[in-house]
């Protein structure tokens, strides 16, 4: 059981969170230089995973494809796998598309994560936007940027973008971004499951299932839980 005092947790989270934000302020000049050195135009899709989770980071992926790039269904055995939003694919299907993307020389992708210390400090919406900005900066290519849902990119990057509601159902490049983010975050939560036993992170990936809530009430919060998220817990639960 994690017996941290409330004062110690707050001090650790806000110190680490402030440090991470300061680190992110640099690198804009390098990003601009990289974009100037990349004359090719791409279509860039950006999506996030983990916004509503009670634990672990929010993860954003950015995927870049050449304009007009055609994507055919994947085949495994006698079955065909059509590209869809990650939530509508099985774990095996997501891995198939993940491998396809990694092995495609015309595609590029990047990932960014923002952890609970920063999420608790600036709120989840700003944390997701921060991750989107980092992912776009790491990709360092020129093109039309499409973001899913309510994601936004910092004006400091000087990148024009378009936000599309349910973009992960309409654009293949956003569908791929959702898959990359989902596969990456699931693997992170599998590692966290081995670090913090008894919470079931391998099963629910940090989301607020009955199993997860019961584990929190029994064991209290662990270091990767988001302290700013309000939980409907048994008042007798020990959350030290």
Q: Is residue 219 part of a domain?
A: no
Domain count, the chain: 1
- Asked whether residue 223 is domain-assigned, the answer is no
List of the chain residues with pLDDT < 50: 9-10, 12-16, 18-23, 25-28, 30-31, 34, 37, 236-240
What's the pLDDT tens digit per position in 70-79?
Answer: 999 888 777 8
Residue 231 lies in a domain: no
pLDDT score of 232: 57
CA distance 21 to 31: 17
**pLDDT given at position 201:** 97
Residue 78 confidence (pLDDT): 73
Q: Are 41 and 145 in contact (CB under 8 A)?
A: no
| CATH number for 160 | 3.30.420.10
pLDDT at 26: 47
38 belongs to a structural domain: yes
Beta-bridge partner residues of 144: 43
What's the chain's Rg over C-alpha atoms?
Answer: 19
User: Do residues 174 and 163 make contact, with C-beta atoms less than 8 angstroms apart?
Assistant: no
Q: What is the largest CA-CA distance in the chain?
A: 60
pLDDT of residue 128: 98
Q: Which pLDDT belongs to residue 40? A: 61
Residue 163 three-state SS = strand
- Residues in contact with 108: Cβ distance below 8 Å, sequence separation at least 6, in sequence order: 42, 63, 64, 139, 141
Report if residue 201 sits inside a domain: no
pLDDT for the residue 160: 86
Range of the domain at 37: 6-186
* Its pTM surpasses 0.85: no
In a domain, 180, yes or no: yes
């Amino acid at each position: 059981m994690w017996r941290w005092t409330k004062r110690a947790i707050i001090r650790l989270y806000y110190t680490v969170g402030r440090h991470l934000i300061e680190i992110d302020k640099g690198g804009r000049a390098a990003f601009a230089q990289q974009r100037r050195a990349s004359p090719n135009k791409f279509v860039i899709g950006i999506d996030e995973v983990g916004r509503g989770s009670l634990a672990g980071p929010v993860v954003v992926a950015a995927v870049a494809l050449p304009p007009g790039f055609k994507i055919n269904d994947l085949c495994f055995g006698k079955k065909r796998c059509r590209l869809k939003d990650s939530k509508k694919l099985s774990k095996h299907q997501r891995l198939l598309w993940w491998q396809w993307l990694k092995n495609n020389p015309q595609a590029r992708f990047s990932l960014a994560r923002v952890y609970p210390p920063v999420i608790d400090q600036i709120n989840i919406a700003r944390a997701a936007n921060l991750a989107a900005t980092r992912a776009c900066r790491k990709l360092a290519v020129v093109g039309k940027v499409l973001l899913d849902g309510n994601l936004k990119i910092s004006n400091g990057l000087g990148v024009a973008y378009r936000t599309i509601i349910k973009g992960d159902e309409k654009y293949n490049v956003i569908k791929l971004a959702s898959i990359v983010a989902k596969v990456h975050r699931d693997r992170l939560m599998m590692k966290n499951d081995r670090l913090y036993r008894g919470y079931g992170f391998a099963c629910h990936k940090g989301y607020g299932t009955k199993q997860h809530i019961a584990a929190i009430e029994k064991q209290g919060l662990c270091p990767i839980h988001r302290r700013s998220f309000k939980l409907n817990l048994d008042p007798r639960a020990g959350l030290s």
